[in-house]
Amino acid sequence: MTIRIDYARDPAAVRRILEALPEWFGDPESIDQYVSDARNNDFVSLLARQGGTTIGVAMIRRHFAESAELHLIAIDPKSRGQGAGQALIECAVAGLEEDGCLLFSVHTVGPSYESDSYAQTRSFYRATDFLPLEEHRNLDWTGPTLILVRRLVPVL
């Protein structure tokens, strides 16, 4: 079945998907914040849909004209490995490049923290052309946060 990417908001789907991914999103307060962010116009929201059901979500925040951050990406566990994450990233990149953005960043748990789940996450980001920039402690949580960046090629 075809995956369609839409610029739309679906806070209920954000909650449903995040609650189904406790290895990554096990903190109820964090889930509540992402659901709130899904309603916030400061974030661009992209939905991956298959057969009318939201199976993935990405939220992007533009910090400066030159840069944007991937605030959230999550795929329903039953739909992982089908290309929804890649499709969300490529749609986000195309929109940012069209708008003249130069850099796209993302934060995740750093490699100095032992976790098979986050090793998968880092591998996904590397496969979608994000490069590791630096790791910091106490940035997004008390452990290590890895910042990755992807160079964009703006449409002239």
pTM (2 d.p.): 0.94
- Confirm whether 147 is domain-assigned: yes
Given a cut of 90, is residue 140 above it in pLDDT?
Answer: no
Distance from C-alpha of 89 to C-alpha of 63, rounded to nearest angstrom: 18
- Confirm whether 57 is domain-assigned: yes
For range 16-29, the mean pLDDT:
95
- Confirm whether 67 is domain-assigned: yes
Count the alpha carbons within 13 Å of 48 in the hemisphere toward its beta carbon: 26
Give the pLDDT confidence score for residue 153 in this predicted structure: 96
- Confirm whether 73 is domain-assigned: yes
Give the pLDDT confidence score for residue 138 in this predicted structure: 85
Give the pLDDT confidence score for residue 111 in this predicted structure: 94
- Confirm whether 118 is domain-assigned: yes
Find the CATH number of the domain harbouring 28: 3.40.630.30
Given a cut of 80, is residue 156 above it in pLDDT?
Answer: no
Tally of domains within the chain: 1
- Confirm whether 156 is domain-assigned: no
What DSSP string describes 19-80?
Answer: HT-TTT---HHHHHHHHHHTT-TTEEEEEEEETTEEEEEEEEEEEETTEEEEEEEEE-GGGT
Which residues span the domain enclosing 22? 3-151
For range 45-57, the mean pLDDT:
97
- Confirm whether 141 is domain-assigned: yes
- Confirm whether 36 is domain-assigned: yes
